[in-house]
C-alpha cells in the first residue's frame, strides 16, 4: 500500500497540538454519523474515515439514490406491460329526453312528440400482452336499452350480450413492448453508472481535500519546528554574546529571524484553521468539533505498469459502456424511424358468442343458444409520400449514429492518453521523492553539525541561517513532492477505476465505505 498513513505524531508536535485543548477521545473510531460527535471532541481523521463521512452525508449520493429508485420503478412499470391486466366500464345510465318530429302513419301529417331513451351497459376486458407485441383479450359486454315515444307507442326494450376472444398482432414493425423494456433497462444502467461516477468524484474531491489539510497541517508543524529551533539558536546566541564571542549585530540578526519565524508560525496556524473549517463543511461535520490529521510522510512506492493501467481503465471505466448504450439506443430509434416510412400491418382474429332479445326471457334463451361471432382481418398501411420528412429524419439519425461511433473511438484514445499522462506524473513524483529523501537526510545532518559548530563558536550566524534555510527548503520540497504524488495517485484512481493501494477494483473499495439502503430496490 502506497503512503499508508501511520498514526504516529512526534512527541513535540503532539504536545503542541494538545496544549490547552480537550483530551482526544475515541472519536477516531469510524463512526458513520457526524452528528454522533460531541462539541469539543477532536476527531483524528484518516483518509478512509473522511471518505466514509463524506459518502454517508453527501446530498449528491442521496440524489443519485433517488434517481436509482425512480429508474427501478420505471423498469418495473415497463416489464409490467407484459403482464395481464383487466378493466371494467359501466354506463348507468345514459338517459336522454327530447322532442322530435315524425309523420303520423294514419294521416300523413307531421307531428311533434316527446321521446325518452335510457341505456345501461357494462363491459369487462382481460388483456394478456404477448412477447411478440401482440395481445390476446377476453371480452364481455352487456347492454339494455329502452325507448319510448310519448303518447304514441308503449315503448320498446332490447337486451344484447357478447363474450369473445380477440387476438391482435402488429406485423412489419418494431416490437414496441420489448423496445420500451430495453430502453428502461438502459436508462437504469445509465443511472447506475452516474451513481458510480458521483461516488468516484466524491472520493477524488475528498481525497484531494484531505491531502490539502494534510499539507497545511505539516506546513504548520514545520513552521512551529523552525520557530522552536530558532528560539534555541537565539538562546545559544545570547550565551555567546554574553561571553563576548558574538557581535550584537549577529544577535540582532538572529532576533529578526526569530520574529519572522513567529510570524510565519502564527500565519500558518490561521491558514490551518481555515483549512479545517472548509474540510469540516465538506464532511458534513459541525464547526463545534475539531479535526486533526497525523501527517507521516513515509510511503511505499506502487509498482504501476502503464499497459496494465490502460487495461484497467478500458475495463472498469464507464465511458466505453456508456458509448455502447448510446449506440444501442440510437439503433432502436433508427428502426422505429425506418418503420414509419415502410409498410406496416395488423392481423386480428375474433371468436365468441352473442345473444339478443326484446325481453329478458328471450335474451336468456338466445344467450344459451347463441349465434357464433367470429371474424378475421388483415390491415396494411403503406406510406405514399411525406415530402421527404421521414427520409430527412432517418438521415439525421444516421449522422448522429456516425458521431457516436467516432466519439467512441476518440473516447478510447483520450482514455489511453490520460492514463499515460497520470502514470508519468506518479512516476515523476516517486522519482523526486526518492531523491528528496536523501536530500532531507543530508540537510538534517548538515544542520545538526552547523548547530554544534555555532555553539562552539566556529560558525557564524549567516552560515547557520543558510544551513537552517536549506533544511526548511528541503523539507518543504519533500512535502510538496509527497502531496503531488498522493494527488497523482488519486487522479490515477479516477482514470482507471482501480484502487492501486489495495490492488483491487474501486467498486470493491466503495463497498467498504457505503452501506446499501434497505428499501424496495
For residue 88, pLDDT beyond 90:
yes
Q: What is the mean pLDDT of residues 471-482?
A: 91
Q: Average pLDDT for residues 281-300, to the nearest whole number?
A: 85
Mean pLDDT of 10-16: 29
Q: Is the pLDDT of residue 6 over 50?
A: no
Average pLDDT in the chain: 83
Residue of 240, 235, 272, 234 lying closest to 255 (CA atoms):
234
1 — pLDDT class (breaks 50, 70, 90)? very low
At 109 the pLDDT is 76
**CA nearest 447: which of 223, 218, 226?**
226
The predicted structure's pLDDT at residue 96: 77
Given a cut of 50, is residue 4 above it in pLDDT?
Answer: no
Mean pLDDT of 363-377: 70
* Mean pLDDT of the 228-235 span: 88
Q: Are 357 and 366 contacting, i.e. CB atoms less than 8 angstroms apart?
A: yes
Q: Is the pLDDT of residue 27 over 60?
A: no
pLDDT value for 421: 96
pLDDT in tens, 160-213: 888 889 999 999 999 999 999 999 999 999 999 998 988 899 999 999 999 999
* 109-121: pLDDT as tens digits: 777 776 777 888 9
Beta strands in 150-233, from DSSP E residues, in sequence order: 156-171
Stronger pLDDT, 289 or 373, i.e. the higher one: 289
Provide the pLDDT confidence category of residue 517 given band limits of 50, 70 and 90.
very low
Question: 229, exposed or middle or buried, with CB in 10 Å at 0-12, 13-18, 19+?
Answer: middle
Residue 70 has pLDDT above 80, yes or no: yes
User: Residue 329 pLDDT more than 50?
Assistant: yes
pLDDT of residue 336 exceeding 80, the answer is yes
> Of 6-10, 289-293, 366-370, 488-492, where does the model show the most confidence?
488-492
DSSP 324-385: HHHHHHHHHHHHHHHHHTS-EEEEEEEEEEEEEESSHHHHHHHHHSPEEEEEEEEEEE----
Helices (H) and strands (E) in the chain, counts: 11, 10
Who has greater pLDDT, 306 or 65? 306
pLDDT of 371: 61
pLDDT at 30: 42
Cα 132 → chain centroid: 35
Q: How far apart are CA 45 and CA 285, in angstroms?
A: 12
| Residue 369 pLDDT level (bands cut at 50, 70, 90) | low
Most confident of 359-368, 387-396, 506-515: 387-396
Q: Which residue segments constitute the domains of the chain, with CATH numbers given?
A: 11-72+181-325+403-513 (1.20.1600.10), 84-129+134-172+343-382 (no CATH)
Please state, for a pLDDT cut of 70, what percent of the chain lies above it: 86
Q: Is the pLDDT of residue 260 over 70?
A: yes
pLDDT at 35: 54
Residue among 63, 4, 62, 54 at smallest CA distance from 33: 54
pLDDT over 90 at 299, yes or no: no
- pLDDT-derived band at 17, boundaries 50, 70, 90: very low
Alpha-carbon separation of residue 440 from 229, 445, 465, 471, 473 (angstroms): 16, 9, 16, 7, 9
Give pLDDT tens digits for 425-452.
999 999 999 899 889 999 999 989 988 8
Q: Look at residue 104 and tell me whether its pLDDT is greater than 90.
A: no
CB of 195 closer than 8 Å to CB of 378: no
pLDDT at 92: 81
pLDDT at residue number 12: 28
Dig out the grid coordinates for 24 from the structure. 482526544
pLDDT confidence tier of residue 335, bands split at 50, 70 and 90: very high
Q: What is the mean pLDDT of residues 334-339?
A: 91
Name the phi and psi angles at 141, rounded to 5.
-145, 145
Nearest to 2 by CA among 314, 427, 440: 427
What is the pLDDT, as a whole number, of residue 158?
81
Lowest-pLDDT range, 147-156, 261-270, 458-467?
Answer: 147-156
For residue 289, pLDDT over 80 is answered with: yes
C-alpha cell at 290: 475539531
Indicate if the pLDDT at residue 10 is higher than 70: no
pLDDT higher than 70, residue 26: no
Amino acid at each position: 500500500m502506497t503512503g499508508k498513513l501511520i498514526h504516529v505524531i512526534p512527541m513535540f508536535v503532539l504536545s503542541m497540538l494538545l496544549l490547552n485543548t480537550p483530551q482526544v477521545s475515541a472519536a477516531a473510531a469510524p463512526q458513520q454519523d457526524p452528528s454522533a460527535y460531541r462539541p469539543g471532541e477532536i476527531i483524528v481523521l484518516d483518509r478512509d474515515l473522511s471518505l466514509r463521512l463524506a459518502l454517508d452525508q453527501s446530498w449528491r449520493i442521496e440524489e443519485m439514490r433517488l434517481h436509482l429508485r425512480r429508474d427501478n420503478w420505471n423498469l418495473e412499470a415497463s416489464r409490467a406491460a407484459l403482464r395481464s391486466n383487466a378493466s371494467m366500464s359501466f354506463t348507468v345510465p345514459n338517459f336522454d329526453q327530447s322532442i322530435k318530429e315524425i309523420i303520423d302513419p294514419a294521416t300523413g301529417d307531421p307531428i311533434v312528440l316527446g321521446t325518452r331513451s335510457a341505456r345501461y351497459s357494462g363491459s369487462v376486458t382481460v388483456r394478456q400482452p404477448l412477447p411478440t407485441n401482440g395481445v390476446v383479450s377476453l371480452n364481455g359486454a352487456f347492454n339494455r336499452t329502452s325507448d319510448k315515444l310519448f303518447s304514441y307507442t308503449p315503448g320498446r326494450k332490447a337486451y344484447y350480450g357478447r363474450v369473445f376472444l380477440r387476438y391482435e398482432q402488429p406485423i412489419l414493425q418494431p416490437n414496441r413492448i420489448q423496445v420500451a423494456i430495453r430502453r428502461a433497462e438502459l436508462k437504469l444502467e445509465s443511472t447506475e453508472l452516474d451513481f458510480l461516477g458521483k461516488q468516484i468524484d466524491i472520493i477524488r474531491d475528498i481525497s484531494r481535500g484531505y491531502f490539502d489539510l494534510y499539507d497545511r497541517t505539516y506546513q504548520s508543524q514545520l513552521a512551529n519546528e523552525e520557530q522552536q529551533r530558532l528560539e534555541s539558536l537565539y538562546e545559544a546566541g545570547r550565551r555567546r554574546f554574553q561571553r563576548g564571542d558574538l557581535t550584537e549585530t549577529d544577535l540582532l540578526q538572529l532576533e529578526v529571524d526569530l520574529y519572522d519565524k513567529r510570524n510565519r508560525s502564527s500565519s500558518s496556524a490561521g491558514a490551518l484553521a481555515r483549512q479545517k473549517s472548509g474540510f469540516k463543511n465538506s464532511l458534513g461535520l459541525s464547526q463545534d468539533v475539531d479535526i486533526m490529521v497525523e501527517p507521516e510522510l513515509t510511503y511505499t512506492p506502487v509498482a504501476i505498469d502503464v499497459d496494465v493501467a490502460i487495461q484497467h481503465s478500458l475495463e472498469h471505466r464507464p465511458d466505453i459502456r456508456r458509448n455502447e448504450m448510446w449506440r444501442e439506443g440510437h439503433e432502436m430509434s433508427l428502426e422505429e424511424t425506418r418503420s414509419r416510412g415502410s409498410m406496416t400491418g395488423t392481423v386480428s382474429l375474433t371468436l365468441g358468442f352473442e345473444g339478443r332479445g326484446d325481453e329478458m326471457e328471450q335474451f336468456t334463451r338466445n344467450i344459451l343458444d347463441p349465434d357464433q361471432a367470429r371474424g378475421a382481418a388483415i390491415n396494411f398501411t403503406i406510406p405514399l409520400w411525406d415530402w421527404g420528412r421521414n427520409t430527412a429524419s432517418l438521415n439525421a439519425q444516421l449522422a448522429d449514429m456516425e458521431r457516436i461511433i467516432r466519439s467512441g473511438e476518440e473516447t478510447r484514445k483520450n482514455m489511453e492518453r490520460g492514463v499515460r499522462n497520470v502514470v508519468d506524473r506518479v512516476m515523476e513524483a516517486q522519482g523526486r521523492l526518492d531523491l528528496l529523501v536523501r536530500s532531507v537526510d543530508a540537510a538534517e545532518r548538515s544542520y545538526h553539525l552547523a548547530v554544534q559548530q555555532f555553539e562552539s563558536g566556529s560558525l557564524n550566524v549567516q552560515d547557520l541561517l543558510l544551513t537552517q534555510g536549506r533544511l526548511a527548503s528541503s523539507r518543504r520540497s519533500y512535502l510538496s513532492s509527497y502531496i503531488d504524488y498522493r494527488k497523482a495517485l488519486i487522479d490515477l484512481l479516477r482514470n482507471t477505476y482501480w484502487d492501486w493501494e489495495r490492488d483491487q477494483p474501486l467498486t470493491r473499495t466503495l463497498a467498504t465505505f457505503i452501506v446499501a439502503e434497505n428499501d424496495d430496490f
